[in-house]
Structure 1
Amino acid sequence: MSTPITHEAAAQKEYDFIVVGAGAGATVAARLAENPNFSVLLVEAGKIEQPIEHIIVPLLGIHASSHPEFNWQYQLTPQQGLNDRIIPYPRGKAIGGTFQTNILFALRGPTSDWDRLARDTGDEGWSWENMLPFAKKLERFVPPTSGWDYTQDFDTTSSGADGPIRIAIANQPTEGPKLIIEAAKKQGIFNTNVNDGEMMGVGWLPGTNGGGIRSTPADYLATPKSNLDILTSAQVTKILFDTTGDIPVATGVEYARDASSPRFQVKAKKEVIISGGSIGSPHILLHSGIGDAAELTKLGIPIVKDLPDVGKHMQDHHILFGPHWRVNNKNTFDSLLQDQSFGQQEGEKFATNKSGLLANTLGQGVGFWRVPDDASIWNEFKDISAGQNAPHIEVLFTDGYVEGHPPTDPGNYFSCATLTLTPHARGSVTITSNDPFEFPAINPNLVGTKHDLYIAREAVKKARDLIKNAGTKDYFIEEYGALAQLKTDEEIEGHAKNNAVSCWHPTSTAVISAKGSPNGVLDPDMKVKGVKGLRVIDASVFPYIPASHTQIPVLMVAERGAHLIATEHS
């Protein structure tokens, strides 16, 4: 990776492209810099990531956001659907962005998600057929480090082979997930690759843990390029514009280390690309005068372009940990803490060749289902999924106790976690002052409708069915934990409201719409409407949250965005 340029030195230069944010932006910047005729500056508020165990070791991914130096440390506003709980909302603050602090699950989403995006925007470039090459371009499938023969269980036909993001399935699968997979084969619901666009069924869960360690967009920057400068510890306070003509033109950005530090400006000759994520991007746009004119005027922010949808329409997935089961197996990851000898053995495996339990993500397997067409909820709510191959429910599963806290009783466990993939609720990211160093108010409105609570309830039932149908009572001893005694719909819903949290998948705060549409923030090519020289490329562009985990869809967007820019300016 290139040595970061200083704040002072960057301000003395002029670049063809300035990319703000080094999550999706690292992908965009690196791809643009492949053209030696382009000069590119990548601006990141955080630092270069450090080799911290919680970040690089896949199994420890749930703790990666615990390091404040690599985390914005946001909090949500009180969530009405979660009994007004205030929930921490970590977002990555480093080269690699939130990809450095997530839980590594790597899913592309169903074909219908992408085809709907193409249909709604009038741009066939967003279709599954046209986006699949970008997915393959970013990925590099790496066989499991433990050497198990996965070839009958995972079809790599549609996987990428040469990209910077290393993809794997369970590096060392354990007994519980293997039993579930074998049961799925007998039931006819086994899916040999949930990433081929047809997600329904049960299969092994891909992750960004190829080679046994975390892979992030920082990997795009591994080889220094003379035409790419990286500026770290630099928070962008606003976008600079030339407003002398009929249409505002983005000309650069202003940045500073913190609120008490001097502010610098750097100019862009061709484009400014904002890739601050679904929180950071609307925050920057709003402080730059792009947003709801009435709201910005109240805060004393000069209006550049009245786009009321900036920061609106936010969506997120909630996750509910559980159900859990006691299991007849001493080799779950619970034993890493309970058995010193076992923990040492697994530590040596990881240190030697990045294998063993530590090389797994927290989810070895996954199942996807739709709520039946005749379910009572459709009498009150429209099904907003993209199509019949878009799941409503996700159930993650693994051997070991996965929860926000350790189990009360020592032992060995199997865990599920459930997600509502097609929430009806929408929220917002808003600013409350004209100080760019003040955090925005973040309200994803988690479990904000009866529909979302219904799906949460049905997902728990589906997880229980997964174990019941496996027919392995000698392995799954008994259900354990707070959910174990809750059977009625009302009890499960109450548990969800008291215990569900965000899955940290914010989207839809600067959405794409059809060219010429009065709604939305971006045209289909991700250019900001009514402004020249400015794009947004990150998770905020999705009109609907993907029916999957979001990191791979975001990188697909980044790959296409870089391609569009490079093609236009070549």
Structure 2
Amino acid sequence: MGLLSVLALSASISVAACATTYDYIVVGSGPGGAPLAANLARAGYSTLLIEAGGDEADNPTYRDLGNFIEACNDEASRWDFWVKHNDDPKVDALFKHNTWDTGDGTFYVGQNPPAGAKHLGIQYPRAGVLGGCSLHNAGVSSLAQDDDWNIVANLTGDSSWEASKMHRYLKEISKTEYLPAGNPDHGYNGWLSFIADDPSWAKQNNTPGVRIVHKFAELIGQKGEDALTLLSQNDLLSSGPNKDEKSSLFNMVYHANAQGKRSTPRDFVTATLADPAKYPLTLKLRTLVTKILFSNSTTSPRALGVEVMEGASLYRADPKHTPGAKGPISQIFANKEVIISGGAFNSPQLLKLSGIGPASELTQFGIKVIKDLPGVGEKLGDNYEASIMALTKEPIPAGLMTTIFRTPNAPTKKRNIYAWCGPFSFEGFWPGFPTNYGPTQWECAMVQIGPKSQRGTVRLRSADPQDTPDINFRFFKDQGDADISELVSASNILREAWKAAGAPAEPFQELHPCPGELGKAPCTDAMQAEYIRTQAYSHHATSSCAIGADSDPMAVLDSKFRVRGVQGLRVVDASAFPVVPGAFPVVPTMMLSQKASEDIIADAKKA
């Protein structure tokens, strides 16, 4: 595509058409909303996709996957949510990366803020941009556990959610670039490209990195000499029987193409917009949806459309927001349905602002109750994340060692830890993250699969749609000791593998959770548990508008994503999952979006 064509396409997606009525309105252009809007338009339905942010087009900060740290820190798209991890402010105060507004346009990160600084909380960045968080994440791609799909089938009686039937949605969206065509477990004609890591570093003989990866393979029941084969051939996106019980090394997969460029739902949207004569999709950028409009019926309210405020950086999570900034307000209507895809924070907020949620909370802010749904904004869940970090005597030349494994204290036979190790630093999010410890840094980062506590909440701070909600993850509220003990067990296994490094990498000087020389400094399970309890972090929020059983008063959605008690309204994004799906929810959310597309189009054809 030439320069003029690129400029023309960018211009074409900056301004929406003047029509005020569409078949469908989709609010939010992330991994849930963007594919859905494109699919509806490709099925012939006039569809409006609304995004509060802009479009970063081919900005290399976003387009090149290797720049994900810069993308996540970039004010061009960053939305800052300042969250709590705990009900007890004394516990949250122990988190080392608490953030403060100094009042001079800068942040202070730490536990000893300057006088007069305003405490903000713990940063949880999201992306206000076309494509949502798929534009600023690290691109890591993995599957949900089979049980994460089966739970929906079991709760609702809808067998279409069974894991054996869900994998086809991945095949439909996939363009697999790391395997030769013809593998029946993969798709090759979809809009989402996948590539895999280059594990050739593991060919080296008798180097510290290779010794570590060989030892780790042995610790999880594999053969050390098979490490290169496992890293090369074990496929994270393969289904197969008992896949969730297989502890092994794996080849890390990314949603990107062979040139290292991100592959995201944005690409699917722009490809759809490029043929307006065939696909009736309209995109409205820099537009904040302030409420859902309903009919006046008191017995069977129906979503009729949305109210919007137009302008850039209107939402206060946007660091570019100007206090007091407003925009013109208008209404847009849907002939068929309104679909909310704002993500785990914004979807429940918008439902509540529109009168759908716990009646007691809505009346507190003077919001007319359309439907009392106590589960809206409840059951917020996330993967717990933690890391062990050290400095080595000499740098360890190695790529990423990726593994999914089961700790001995896991509650079932299923794997419960996704980890990756290498010469990098990642310890959570704060303005300007991460800390660069230099060329000798060595880390193993962990994501817990299947956390047992989902007691987080997304609640209104005010009735102002420009305001951010009050978010509290309530880490470790239920069965917290069990969750922590699994992370401690994983730390011990990973650390044991480090001891195989040998010269010239040793000695390791561990920075956390057990500061001091590896093998000599005290490192008890209790010490590690306390560190994890106060320093765990997360960035995979889900389940705040969860699908559930008809008999469950906390269920927000039915199995077809329909909001209970109202008509013409669905939620399609990560907030719909009843449990946190696997270790990384971005690919499961795109699979969920593909399923929702099929369900909605099928319903439209019946009407």
Q: Which band: TM-score by shorter chain?
A: 0.7 to 0.9
* SS in structure 2 at match of 1:229: strand
Match of 2:450 among 422, 436, 444: 422
**Does 2:494 match 1:463?**
yes
The answer as to 2:387 corresponding to 1:321 is yes
The answer to whether the aligner puts 1:126 opposite 2:135 as a matched pair is no
Mark the CA change 1:64 to 1:310 in structure 2 (over 3 Å): closer, same or farther: same
Q: How does 1:328-407 map to 2 (within 5 A)?
A: 331=397, 364-372=400-408, 375=409, 383=411, 388-389=413-414, 391-403=415-427, 404-407=433-436
Say which SS state the counterpart of residue 495 (structure 2) adopts.
Answer: helix
In 1, Cα distance between equivalents of 2:599 and 2:201: 43
Matched residue, 1:210: 257
Alpha carbons 1:323, 1:479 under 8 Å: kept? no
Equivalence map 1:111-260=2 (5 Å): 111-143=146-178, 157-171=184-198, 173-175=200-202, 184=217, 186-187=223-224, 190=230, 192-197=234-239, 198-199=243-244, 200-201=246-247, 202-211=249-258, 212-223=260-271, 224-226=274-276, 227-244=280-297, 246-257=299-310, 258=314, 260=326
1:398 deviation in Å? 2.7
Q: Give the match's secondary structure for 2:506.
A: strand
Aligned equivalents of 1:33, 1:327: Cα separation in 2: 57
Q: Which runs of 5+ in 2 are unaligned?
A: 1-8, 96-120, 203-207, 315-324, 428-432, 517-521
Contact 2:142 2:582 in 1 (8 A): no
How far off its partner does 1:100 sit? 0.9
CA distance in 1, matches of 2:498, 2:396: 19
| Partner SS for 1:69 | coil
Amino acid at match of 1:551: V
1:175-229 residue CA offsets vs partner (Å, 9 max, x unmatched) = 4776666553525794712332414322111111332122211011132242000
Instruction: Report whether the alignment pairs 1:14 with 2:21.
Output: yes
User: Equivalent residue of 1:313, what SS?
Assistant: coil
Check 1:178–1:48 CA distance in 2 against 1; reply closer, same or farther (3 A cut): farther
The one of 535, 549, 559 equivalent to 1:499 is 535
The change in CA–CA distance for 1:475 and 1:248 in structure 2 (over 3 A counts) is farther
Partners of 1:462 and 1:331 in 2: CA distance: 21
Greater mean deviation of Cα atoms: 231-240 or 445-454: 445-454
CA distance in 1, matches of 2:308, 2:144: 35
User: Is 1:454 matched with 2:454?
Assistant: no
Equivalent residue number for residue 310 of structure 1: 376
Shift of the 464–78 alpha-carbon distance from structure 1 to 2, 3 Å rule, reads closer
Structure 1 residue 68, shift from structure 2 partner: 1.9
Q: Deviations over 1:364-410 (max 9, x none)?
A: 342222333xx4xx8xxxx4xxx633x222211233344444444x4
- The 2-side partners of 1:479 and 1:180 are apart by 13
Indicate the residue corresponding to 1:549 in structure 2.
584
Which of 59-68 and 531-540 deviates more? 59-68
Query: Is 1:436 the counterpart of 2:465 in the alignment?
Result: yes
Contact 2:84 2:472 in 1 (8 A): yes
RMSD, aligned α-carbons? 2.7
CA distance 1:303–1:44, change in 2 (3 Å): same
SS in 2 for 1:209: coil
Q: Displacement of 1:519 after TM fit?
A: 3.1
Change (3 A) 1:432 1:193: same
| Cα distance in 2 for residues equivalent to 1:82 and 1:114 | 33
Q: Which amino acid aligns with 1:440?
A: P
Q: Alpha carbons of 1:131 and 1:327: their partners in 2 closer, same or farther (altered >3 Å)?
A: farther
Q: Secondary structure of the equivalent of 2:443?
A: strand
Query: C-alpha distance in 1, partners of 2:26/2:305?
Result: 10
Q: Does residue 513 in structure 1 map to residue 520 in structure 2?
A: no
Question: Shift of the alpha carbon at 1:459?
Answer: 2.3
Residues 469-526 of structure 1 show CA distances to partners (whole Å, capped at 9, x for unaligned) of xx44247533334125351112212332443322x10001000012454331000111
The CA distance in 2 between the partners of 1:532 and 1:55, in whole Å, is 38
* Distance in 2 between residues matched to 1:542 and 1:320, nearest whole Å: 23
Residue deviations 1:278-330 (CA, integer Å, cap 9, x gap): 00100110000000011101110001100000000101123223233527557
Identity, in percent, stands at 28
Structure 1 equivalent of residue 440 of structure 2? 412
Distance (whole Å) between structure 2 residues aligned to residue 162 and residue 552 of structure 1: 16
Aligned-partner residue type, residue 195 of structure 2: A
Does 260-269 or 121-130 show the bigger shift? 121-130
CA distances 1:124-166 after superposition (whole Å, capped 9, x unpaired): 11111111000111221223xxxxxx88xx9965232122111
The whole-number CA distance in structure 2 between the counterparts of 1:434 and 1:6 is: 29
Q: Is the 8 A contact 1:314 1:507 kept in 2?
A: yes
* Number of residue-to-residue matches in the alignment: 513
Structure 1 residue runs without a partner (length 5+)? 144-149, 333-362
More divergent stretch after superposition (295-304 vs 111-120): 111-120
